Amino acid sequence: MNSTQLSFPRTLLPDVTGLELEDAYCADHEMVAILRSTAPEASCPLCGSASTSIHSHYRRAPTDLPWGGHPVKLILRVRRFFCKASFCERRVFTERLPGVVAPQARTTERLTTLLQALAFALGGEAGARLAKRIGLATSPATLISLIRRTSLPELSPARILGVDDWAKRKGKNYGTALVDLERHRLIELLPDRESDTLARWLQDNPGTEVISRDRSERYAVGGRQGAPEAVHVADRWHLLSNWREATERVFDRHRGRIKQVILPKPEPEGKLAAAVLPAKSVNRRRKSLEEKRARAQAERQARYEVIRERYAKASI
């Protein structure tokens, strides 16, 4: 195995106290850094008692963030300690390295954070392809496993709650999305749009003071049942959406008249006057559009005939 001695700054390694860099080298296109734990004592993970009695030493070899597209491995020389607490069931425990690597993990914490970000952003297959480009050896199954093992954040009471529907299958199946509007964070996805489902969730998660929703009667009933003291409001998006829908209905109702009306340039006095187009002008414009459609259709038909003719010759 070919190896090359390296000398690189300590700042490229995990920034934690209690770790001392002993050696670093490059072997078979992989960078290796050997670190030794120098903490004077360690705490038992079961009872929390501090111990200075060393039982033995062992090595861990987690993978770290790549450097310049090359994989990096850390060789960690850590220790096992005796637990001197008489009430503790664990007689020997291994030294923990918070901020560096989790117990029994094969990757450092900062590499795990990076892989989680790739997994949540791209998923398994695409995430694995991008990871390979930046020097990370991982698989789609590993990224999917990281997503499944990531714990959900603890729910905190939402003082201002946004309630809206979301489509599992547009036009077929819908659920309800609940958003904490103060933190701008999705907190729950309900399986349907029923008022009873929303009322039960509000009763199980008290603390809502304001409910921002659309004009759905189901959400109105569910909000009143689950949080009777909450104030119901319409957010800006629904107000603008409702205004747009109402405006479109008005213009659709008078579409025929709108097509006949134009607004000319302002007169010198600054007054605007509506003028009605003559029927002849309207007919001339309609005739021009019909001629344009006919020309386009004729061109498509001509191309079709040429294609059929060339296909017939090629088949002979």
In a domain, 244, yes or no: no
Residues 97 and 30 both lie in one domain: yes
| Tens-place pLDDT, residues 184-198 | 888 989 999 999 999
In a domain, 291, yes or no: no
User: Which of residues 85, 119, 151 is at a domain's end?
Assistant: 151
Q: What pLDDT, on a 0 to 100 scale, did the predictor assign at position 273? A: 47
Residues 65 and 94 both lie in one domain: yes
Residue 268 predicted with pLDDT over 70: no
Other C-beta atoms within 10 Å of 46: how many? 12
Binning pLDDT at 50, 70 and 90, where does residue 13 land? confident
Closest CA to 59 of 97, 90, 16, 11: 97
In a domain, 246, yes or no: no
What number is the average pLDDT over the span 282-288? 64
Give the contacts of 262 (CB within 8 A, at least 6 positions apart): 274, 275, 277
Q: What pLDDT, on a 0 to 100 scale, did the predictor assign at position 286? A: 67
Tokens, residue 216: 């759905």
Q: What pLDDT, on a 0 to 100 scale, did the predictor assign at position 136? A: 85
Residue 4 predicted with pLDDT over 80: no
Tokens, residue 231: 């104030």
Q: Which residue has the higher pLDDT, 64 or 153?
A: 64
pTM of the model: 0.57
Q: For the chain, what is the domain count?
A: 3
| Residue 180 to residue 155: CA distance in whole angstroms | 10
In a domain, 268, yes or no: no
Greatest Cα pair distance, the chain, in angstroms, is: 105
Least confident of 126-130, 222-226, 272-276: 272-276
In a domain, 188, yes or no: yes
Mean pLDDT of all residues belonging to the chain: 84
Residues 118 and 102 both lie in one domain: no
| Tens-place pLDDT, residues 231-258 | 999 888 888 888 898 898 888 888 777 7
User: Which of residues 151, 183, 211 is at a domain's end?
Assistant: 151
Contact 198, 223 (CB under 8 A): yes
